[in-house]
Amino acid sequence: MNIVFVCTENSNRSQMAEAFAKMYAPKEYQIFSAGSAASGVINPKAIKAMEEINYNLNTHRSQSIEDLPIQEADYVISMGCGDMCPNFPARFRFEWNFPDPKHLNQAEYNLIRDQIKINVLDFFTSIS
């Protein structure tokens, strides 16, 4: 089973969602994230937000949807990028409408992080 979190730049929301999924997913899941216009870098605010909860986002990389090692996902979760979200083949699709936090201050950014964590935990509860 695999899950792909998608957004535009793959530097904020989808990176944090991937991190939380890796923290909480059952072992049989492969977790990925990607973007339609990947920036190639992880936002320093995302790195800081995840460091605050003891997760090292420096181990991740921002990648394009074309760089994924799979051709189809069991689950694709788009993070609120609307028409800019990449279309990736999946058995099931979900849309989480999070605002892009890249221009928020760190405290506001962390609120988005916390909500992403809740969504990830709820997602695993709903599919189990």
Based on the residue annotation, tell me whether 7 is a catalytic residue of this protein.
yes
Is-catalytic flag, 44? Answer: no
- Of 6, 38, 50, 81, which residue is the catalytic one? 81
2-7 and 73-78 strand pairing = parallel
Compute the distance between CA of residue 20 and CA of residue 1 in angstroms, rounded to an integer.
16
Residues sharing a CB contact under 8 Å with residue 29, sequence separation 6 or more, in sequence order:
1, 2, 3, 21
Active-site residue (options: 3, 6, 7, 17): 7
120 is catalytic: no
In the set 79, 85, 116, 120, the catalytic residue is 85
Residues that are catalytic = 7, 81, 85
